[in-house]
């Protein structure tokens, strides 16, 4: 028995080796299958012209591309503080790349499908490197800003107080501004906003050239049975990008915006601005190097060309013969493809509902759970994305091993939607009541008599804490009249008339003890949201894992439900539709939603600036309920995908040939036994 099994396995291996050897002998030798360009080519490079090597290089390049955009996402709150940008404007900046995708993805992906696709992908990486450079320019044009310099030892010395050298009158003048005082200048300049938007717009063109040609090249140059595993590994490598990007953000934001100056505050202070610009330099260099390696691959891999020449069926149409009418014909085929249309509708609603968590998760953690920008980005980029990567790998392994039907994949997407809805509803329950109360109590009604003699509208955010553990926006809002240093070296404010419900100005006779009891300490009151933050992190990791398990199956359905000749165009057209209906409006809508729950604005001369304090409870309920409702509606379209995918083939018949060969071999082994039995 053992020898028979060995002989059978050897027979199958020899058969497979012979088939591979014959394929290699028939591999055509032409310029389309040669690696490299210019002086960087030769036989030494040709051995790397394999599908596995392209998956590795393309996956690494995807990782660095995702790293660039996640770095932007992680630095949004710091850029809002630095350039006084409201969240709805930062949402508009974010959609710049999607606006360019609308105009470029379908057209570029259509013509790139018959061109040298690796070179197109390399060009996309170079364009994204240009995007990174443009994101860096506002820092060099505008510097670190006056507000950041005020909080350093080198420029903030004149604001430090010494009881022996400054009398109470001077202190009162510094803390209380006269009515109709000058507003804060230097804020509200929209030139940095325009630069950021242009950078994002250019980045969208690079993404259009990177994803559609790259994914279709990978799918066309690999066997159908290997596509799920390759897509999973490519997606896994791409998911390392956000983890690396958020980790880099966390490291950069621990440094002050001007690393060469010593700040007077710590990263836990809400006024802290980290070195948001530093990471763009490294990312630009990495993307240029990645473009060089991706551009080395041939127009078509040798093994894939040999398979294509053997196959019977449709022939390639040269690029010169592609016409606008051909593109319209492709569009008509896609419009009548029910699986493609239903899958797109389900994805549109899912993306619209989940978009704020992709863009604003670090900001959500900062405002809901009082975490620093560095901690919020580290949590988003390590644990959460680690679970996403695990979900992609596991789902890819399951699909490759068990080869589920198209209906099974569509059914799982339906389950993923409902698990996501359940997780978002849990977000509503995971709130920090202590933080909610602190934000609500920090607001002093306009015209309050205790601070009515001061004009606090344009005062910089400089929180102070009362003995009742209530945070006030500034000493001015607390009605404080004097500033000094206690015996422990801490900055304190005295004579604060808005604390403890005691209005000192309305009392003619007030004891010295009562006046001294109205003392505030510098900095926001401590709020402990650690338990709630850990719970939120656990739910987020679960959602990341579940959502990632549906990525490979969803992409595989999108690739297999269309003819091979329409594959690249379908991906590009899908990107355009998603941009118009999801990626552009969603950040703007949810950015407006965040701003609508703002309690304290950093007002400047020309605008209301960025938001400092939010109504966290109302925001938590509204945002999560809206997102859960959208994803719930999208789940019904997956039922349509499940129904119409009953006859769709995800894997070719030849993919199961090895299993059939093993069955035939087993049957051959059993026949001699039957013959022997009959003879007996």
Distance of CA 418 to the CA centre of its chain: 22
Distance of CA 92 to the CA centre of its chain: 15
Distance of CA 370 to the CA centre of its chain: 21
Neighbour-count burial for 434-464, b at 16+ CB within 10 Å, e otherwise: bbbebbeebebeeeeebbeebbbbbbebbbb
Q: Please tell me the predicted confidence (pLDDT) of residue 163.
A: 37
Which has more confidence, 11 or 154? 154
| Residues 561-612 pLDDT 10s | 888 778 778 877 888 888 889 988 999 999 899 989 988 887 666 667 778 8
Say if residue 309's pLDDT is above 70: no
Which has more confidence, 309 or 197? 197
3-state class of 605 per DSSP?
coil
Q: Is the dihedral of CA 527, 532, 534, 537 positive or negative?
A: negative
Q: Which of 8-17, 174-183, 238-247, 340-349 has the lowest mean pLDDT?
A: 8-17
Q: Which of 159-173, 328-342, 538-552 has the lowest mean pLDDT?
A: 159-173
Say if residue 238's pLDDT is above 60: yes
Contacts of 446 (CB under 8 A, 6+ apart): none
When mean pLDDT is compared over 25-29, 254-258, 502-506, 575-579, the highest value belongs to 254-258
Region of 270 please: left (phi>0), alpha (psi -120 to 50) or beta. alpha
What's the chain's average pLDDT? 77
Q: Please tell me the predicted confidence (pLDDT) of residue 307.
A: 63
3-state class of 611 per DSSP?
strand
pTM of the shown model: 0.71
Which has more confidence, 554 or 43? 554
Please report, to the nearest 10 degrees, the dihedral formed by the alpha carbons of residues 652, 656, 658, 663 taken in order.
Answer: -150
Q: Please tell me the predicted confidence (pLDDT) of residue 114.
A: 66
Percent over 90 (pLDDT), the chain: 21
Give the Cα separation of 234 and 222 in Å (integer): 13
Which has more confidence, 667 or 154? 154
Using only C-alpha atoms, the chain has a radius of gyration, in whole angstroms, of 31
In this prediction, residues 475-499 reach a mean pLDDT of 78
Q: Which of 201-215, 233-247, 475-489, 648-662 has the lowest mean pLDDT?
A: 648-662
pLDDT band, residue 665 (cuts 50/70/90):
very low
**Residues in the chain, total:** 680
In this prediction, residues 75-81 reach a mean pLDDT of 89
Give the Cα separation of 340 and 319 in Å (integer): 25
Which has more confidence, 179 or 428? 428
């Amino acid at each position: 028995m053992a020898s028979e099994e060995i002989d059978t396995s050897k027979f199958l291996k020899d058969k497979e080796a012979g088939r591979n050897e014959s394929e290699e002998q028939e591999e055509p030798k032409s310029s389309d299958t040669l690696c490299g360009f210019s002086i960087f080519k030769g036989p030494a490079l040709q051995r790397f012209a394999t599908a596995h090597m392209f998956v590795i290089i393309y996956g690494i390049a995807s990782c660095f591309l995702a790293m660039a955009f996640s770095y932007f996402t992680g630095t949004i709150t710091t850029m809002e503080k630095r350039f006084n940008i409201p969240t709805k404007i930062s949402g508009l900046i974010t959609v710049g790349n999607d606006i360019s995708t609308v105009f470029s993805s379908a057209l570029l992906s259509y013509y790139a499908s018959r061109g040298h696709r690796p070179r197109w992908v390399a060009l996309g990486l170079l364009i994204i490197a240009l995007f990174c450079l443009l994101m860096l320019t506002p820092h060099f044009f505008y510097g670190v800003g006056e507000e950041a310099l005020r909080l350093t030892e080198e420029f903030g010395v004149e604001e430090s107080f010494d009881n022996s050298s400054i009398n109470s009158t001077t202190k009162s003048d510094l803390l209380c501004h006269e009515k109709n005082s000058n507003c804060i200048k230097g804020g509200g300049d929209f030139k940095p906003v325009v630069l950021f938007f242009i950078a994002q717009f250019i980045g969208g063109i690079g993404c259009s050239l990177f994803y559609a040609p790259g994914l279709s090249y990978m799918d066309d140059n690999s066997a159908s049975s290997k596509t799920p595993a390759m897509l999973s590994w490519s997606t896994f490598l791409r998911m390392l990008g956000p983890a690396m990007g958020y980790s880099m953000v966390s490291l950069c934001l621990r440094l002050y915006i001007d690393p060469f100056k010593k700040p007077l505050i710590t990263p836990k202070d809400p006024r802290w601005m980290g070195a948001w610009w530093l990471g763009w330099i490294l990312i630009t260099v990495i993307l240029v190097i990645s473009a060089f390696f991706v551009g080395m691959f041939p127009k078509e891999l040798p093994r894939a060309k040999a398979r294509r020449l053997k196959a019977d069926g449709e022939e390639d149409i040269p690029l010169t013969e592609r016409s606008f009418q051909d593109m319209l014909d492709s569009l008509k085929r896609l419009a009548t493809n029910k699986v493609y249309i239903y899958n797109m509708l389900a994805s549109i609603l899912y993306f619209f509902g989940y978009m704020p968590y992709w863009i604003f998760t670090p900001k959500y953690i900062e405002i809901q759970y009082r975490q620093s920008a560095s901690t919020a980005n580290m949590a988003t980029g390590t644990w959460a994305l680690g679970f996403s990567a695990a979900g992609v790998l596991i789902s890819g392994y399951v699909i490759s091993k068990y080869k589920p039907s198209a209906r099974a994949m569509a059914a799982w997407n339906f389950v993923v939607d409902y698990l996501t809805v359940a997780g978002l509803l849990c977000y509503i329950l995971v709130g920090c009541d202590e933080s909610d109360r602190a934000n609500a109590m920090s607001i002093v009604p306009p015209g309050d008599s205790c601070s009515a003699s001061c004009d606090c509208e344009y005062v910089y955010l400089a929180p102070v804490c009362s003995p009742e553990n209530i945070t006030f926006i500034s000493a001015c809002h607390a009605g404080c009249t004097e500033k000094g240093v206690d015996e422990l070296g801490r900055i304190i404010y005295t004579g604060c008339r808005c604390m403890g419900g005691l209005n000192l100005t309305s009392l003619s006779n007030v004891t010295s003890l009562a006046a001294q009891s109205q003392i505030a300490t510098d900095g926001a009151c401590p709020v402990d949201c650690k338990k709630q933050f850990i719970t939120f992190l656990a739910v987020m990791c679960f959602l990341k894992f579940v959502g990632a398990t549906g990525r490979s199956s969803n992409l595989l359905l999108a690739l297999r439900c269309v003819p091979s000749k329409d594959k690249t165009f379908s991906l590009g057209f899908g990107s355009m539709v998603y941009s118009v209906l999801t990626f552009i409006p969603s950040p703007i809508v949810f950015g407006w939603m965040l701003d609508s729950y703002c309690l304290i604005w950093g007002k400047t001369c020309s605008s209301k600036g960025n938001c400092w304090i939010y109504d966290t409870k109302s925001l938590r309920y509204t945002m999560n309920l809206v997102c859960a409702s959208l994803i719930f509606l999208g789940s019904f379209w997956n039922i349509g995908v499940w129904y119409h995918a009953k006859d769709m083939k995800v894997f070719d018949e030849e993919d199961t040939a090895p299993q059939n060969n093993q069955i035939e071999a087993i049957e051959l082994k059993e026949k001699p036994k039957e013959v022997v039995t009959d003879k007996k």
